[in-house]
């Protein structure tokens, strides 16, 4: 019974983090879309030089890349002690290995006539 309760709490916590992640992604999208209509020089003054740029006859594309390696340390294994009446039971709880993951966000601003006309952000860490 206790294990099912633990699983329920774990599902609730993971769901909350997922919702918070979505809200943060929405904030990022809203923030970058706020640049639409602004002039190119203001963007560069605020964000710095782009990681890369590309020019066509119709538009200029300014791309900003943010990429980071992150490490989640391992968790040790443990033992849960369960007491039911006079009986005592133990249950091993496995640990988890550490792992590395990459966070990245690529934001591209489309500029026409020195004004930002579109923004596209992709990646797993385009959040505020």
The yes-or-no verdict on residue 128 having pLDDT over 80 is: no
Q: Which of 15-19, 34-38, 89-93 has the lowest mean pLDDT?
A: 15-19
Q: What is the mean pLDDT of residues 42-70?
A: 95
Q: Are 104 and 124 in contact (CB under 8 A)?
A: yes
Q: Which pLDDT score is estimated for 48?
A: 95
Phi-psi region of 123 (alpha: psi -120 to 50; beta: other; left: phi over 0): left
Domain ranges of the chain: 2-123
Q: What's the confidence (pLDDT) of residue 1?
A: 45
* Mean pLDDT value of segment 13-17: 50
Q: What is the spatial distance between Cα 24 and Cα 31, in angstroms, rounded to a whole number?
A: 10
Kindly give, in sequence order, each residue whose CB lies less than 8 Å from that of residue 61, ignoring residues fewer than 6 positions away: 53, 54, 55, 108, 109, 110, 111
pTM assigned to the model? 0.65
């Amino acid at each position: 019974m206790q294990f099912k309760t633990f699983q329920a709490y774990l599902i609730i916590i993971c769901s909350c983090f997922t919702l918070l992640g979505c809200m943060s992604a929405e904030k990022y999208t809203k923030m970058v879309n706020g640049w639409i209509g602004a002039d190119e020089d203001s963007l560069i003054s605020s964000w710095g030089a782009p990681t890369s740029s590309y020019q066509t006859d119709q538009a200029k594309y300014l791309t900003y890349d943010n990429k980071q390696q992150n490490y989640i340390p391992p968790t040790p294994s443990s033992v849960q002690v369960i007491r039911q009446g006079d009986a005592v039971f133990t249950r091993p709880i496995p640990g988890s290995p550490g792992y590395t993951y990459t966070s990245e966000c690529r934001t591209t601003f489309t500029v026409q006539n020195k004004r930002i006309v579109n923004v596209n952000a992709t990646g797993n860490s385009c959040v505020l």
